[in-house]
């Protein structure tokens, strides 16, 4: 909703423990996802409602950070804590413009073709487009953290989808519907 635009950025945090490790998981919700890339015959775009991205810090038995994992289209990326850029004790995560994919640094990252509907791949190839995400160095924020458990906050009990179908648009072609919002 429009009210969310003026609200303080928020992440939803959970802690998962085993005997030897602890995972600190931070979920970021984006109500709408609109990615686009200019191509030789116009703009190619992809959009959907409801987008969750997740960052995870894995701690050893002594509660020392070991690994940072970031979600992004159809998978993710992970790095040893020693190689992660940090601001104090916090990792610096770059969010890609429009797609919200999490990146380890500013710049351009190629999207995994498996994230596109199979019927779109020949169209992208014919247009000479290799979809990519762009993340810049922008304003740094430290969001509020809301603890999450199986039944709290109340929306954790919602059993439906967080959005409607995904859509892809290509020059001169009707938009293509594929997939559904995340559960």
Please state the rounded mean pLDDT for residues 100-129.
Answer: 89
Instruction: Give the span between the Cα atoms of 92 and 102, in whole angstroms.
Output: 10
Q: What is the pLDDT of residue 3?
A: 62
Q: What is the pLDDT of residue 26?
A: 96
Q: What is the pLDDT of residue 159?
A: 87
- Which candidate, 64, 51, 72, 52, places its Cα nearest to that of 24? 64
Can you say whether residue 100 is alpha, beta or left, with left for phi > 0 and alpha for psi between -120 and 50 degrees?
A: left
Residue 59 or 48, more confident: 59
| Residue 116, pLDDT above cutoff 70 | yes
Bridge partners of 10, per DSSP, are 144
Please state the rounded mean pLDDT for residues 168-175.
Answer: 87
State whether residue 126 is helix, strand or coil: helix
Please state the rounded mean pLDDT for residues 95-112.
Answer: 91
| Residue 7, pLDDT above cutoff 80 | no
Name the pLDDT band for 4 (thresholds 50, 70, 90).
low
Q: Are 102 and 72 in contact (CB under 8 A)?
A: yes
| Residue 13, pLDDT above cutoff 90 | yes
Instruction: Give the span between the Cα atoms of 67 and 70, in whole angstroms.
Output: 10
pTM comes to 0.85
């Amino acid at each position: 909703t429009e009210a969310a635009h003026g609200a303080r950025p928020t992440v939803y945090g959970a802690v998962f423990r085993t005997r030897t490790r602890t995972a600190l998981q931070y979920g970021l919700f984006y109500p709408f996802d609109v990615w686009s890339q200019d191509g030789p015959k116009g703009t190619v775009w992809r959009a959907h409602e409801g987008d969750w991205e997740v960052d995870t810090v894995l701690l050893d038995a002594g509660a020392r950070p070991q690994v940072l994992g970031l979600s992004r289209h159809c998978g993710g990326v992970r790095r040893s804590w020693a190689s992660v850029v940090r601001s104090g004790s916090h990792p610096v995560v770059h969010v890609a413009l429009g797609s919200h994919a999490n990146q380890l640094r500013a710049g351009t990252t190629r999207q995994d073709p498996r994230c596109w509907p199979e019927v779109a791949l020949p169209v992208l190839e014919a247009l000479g487009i290799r979809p990519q995400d762009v993340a810049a160095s922008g304003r740094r924020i430290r969001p509020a953290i809301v603890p999450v458990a199986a039944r709290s906050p109340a929306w954790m009990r919602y059993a439906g989808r967080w959005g409607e179908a995904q859509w892809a648009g290509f020059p001169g072609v009707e938009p293509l519907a594929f997939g559904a919002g995340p559960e």
